[in-house]
Amino acid sequence: MANTVLNNASLSTVETQQSGSLPQDIIRRLLWKLSIATLLLMAVGSATRVMNAGLACPDWPLCYGEFVPAAQMNFQVFLEWFHRLDAAGIGLGTIALVGLSGWYRRELPSWLPWASLFALALIVFQGVLGGLTVTELLRFDIVTAHLGTALLFFSTLLVIGCLLLPYQGTGNVGKLTGISMTAAILVYFQSILGALVGSQWALHQCLGSSQLCTVMNSHIIGVVPPTLATLTLVIFAWRTSALHPLLRKLANMAGACLVAQILLGVATFYLRLQVEPLTVAHQAMGATLLGTLICFSTLALRDQQLSVISQQ
């Protein structure tokens, strides 16, 4: 299945480079905008949590029974309200993605409408989890699943967008594909551990009453595997000759994100989550690192597949 998608994506790329595809360009631009909006959504969601604004709107999907609760508006209500507004905008954008994919299906890769429907299913499920987050009073497992689904949706958008890029690989990725995919998976699960720490306030409880230290320590120890995998990717990318410039740039970005993420994590820990912007930046940087690795993996797979096609 994966090989079929990559084959179709590779052939679609060659055709696009030869004749151009306006619908494909429109959809690709929409995908990047949705990806940025999703990254912003996760950052605002993190701010909502650390500012104790998760229940600032006591009902759902409206806020105090209104679309814009002007009478009750304060900073906490604004955070929760804007979080929902951004989510609604992403939902509408995803519906537009499905509609465009269906309308222009004859001019697009055959897999694109199905991938768009998968993204829509994820955002619908994410909306359900968002409602449950409020109605179940911020239950930690629902909050964690909420972030996990958001990261999966974010990754799906990036994969689709990278498959639609007019990219011609050099065929020199070697083992980098497997390394980057491993790093992406490890970063995703480390993000889930981080969500568990945040949703249970494990750092505060561990430092204050020695409770939930297992959860906290698991997140700290869990830093090691994704760090090693990402560093391995960066080093191997530096040592790989004739690597595509975009892949080299993405590898350097992953290294920079990793360093920033570790520094933010250390600062957040020693300041005991007292500086809210640091906590928000820590989660946003983790999502950015994941997105960078996802893009690298997708393009590396295309590079590898194009190399196989050229040899046939």
In which band, very low, low, confident or very high, does the pLDDT at 15 lie, cut at 50, 70 and 90?
A: very low
Last residue of a domain, one of 143, 166, 189: 166
User: Quick one: pLDDT at residue 91?
Assistant: 96
Domain that holds residue 41: 21-166
93 and 192 co-located in one domain: no
188 and 221 co-located in one domain: yes
162 and 243 co-located in one domain: no
74 and 87 co-located in one domain: yes
Q: In 3D, which of 226, 253, 261, 216 has the Cα closest to residue 237?
A: 253
**Which residues sit opposite 66 in a β-bridge?**
63
- Over range 49-71, report the average pLDDT: 90
155 and 229 co-located in one domain: no
For the chain, where are the alpha helices, taking DSSP H only? 2-19, 22-50, 75-103, 112-135, 140-163, 176-199, 202-209, 213-221, 224-239, 245-270, 276-311
In which band, very low, low, confident or very high, does the pLDDT at 203 lie, cut at 50, 70 and 90?
A: confident
200 and 130 co-located in one domain: no
User: Quick one: pLDDT at residue 213?
Assistant: 85
Q: Taking the mean position of all CA atoms in its chain, how far away is CA 274? A: 26
User: Quick one: pLDDT at residue 151?
Assistant: 97
The residue ranking higher by pLDDT, 215 or 165, is 165
Instruction: Dump pLDDT digits (tens) for 109-160.
Output: 999 999 999 999 999 999 999 999 988 888 999 999 999 999 999 999 999 9
Task: Judge whether residue 308 has pLDDT over 90.
Answer: no
Domains in the chain, number = 2
Rounded Cα–Cα distance for residues 302 and 167 (Å):
8
77 and 28 co-located in one domain: yes
199 and 272 co-located in one domain: yes
DSSP letter at 58 equals -
Average pLDDT, the chain: 89
Rounded Cα–Cα distance for residues 225 and 4 (Å):
31
**Main-chain phi, psi angles of 63, to 5 degrees:** -125, 110
For the entire predicted model, the pTM comes to 0.90
In which band, very low, low, confident or very high, does the pLDDT at 206 lie, cut at 50, 70 and 90?
A: confident
C-alpha gyration radius of the chain = 21
> For residues 79 and 51, is the Cβ–Cβ distance under 8 A?
yes
In which band, very low, low, confident or very high, does the pLDDT at 272 lie, cut at 50, 70 and 90?
A: confident
The residue ranking higher by pLDDT, 69 or 208, is 69
Instruction: Dump pLDDT digits (tens) for 70-102.
Output: 999 999 999 999 999 999 999 999 999 999 999
Instruction: Dump pLDDT digits (tens) for 153-188.
Output: 999 999 999 999 988 888 889 899 999 999 999 999
In a domain, residue 1? The reply is no
- Collect all residues with Cβ–Cβ distance below 8 Å to 311 and sequence separation of at least 6: none
Task: Judge whether residue 307 has pLDDT over 60.
Answer: no
In terms of phi and psi (left: phi > 0; alpha: psi -120 to 50; beta: otherwise), the region of 178 is: alpha
Q: Which tokens in the block code for residue 84?
A: 């929902």
In a domain, residue 7? The reply is no
Rounded Cα–Cα distance for residues 224 and 226 (Å):
6
Rounded Cα–Cα distance for residues 44 and 51 (Å):
10
- Collect all residues with Cβ–Cβ distance below 8 Å to 158 and sequence separation of at least 6: 31, 35, 291, 294, 295, 298
In a domain, residue 15? The reply is no
In which band, very low, low, confident or very high, does the pLDDT at 27 lie, cut at 50, 70 and 90?
A: very high
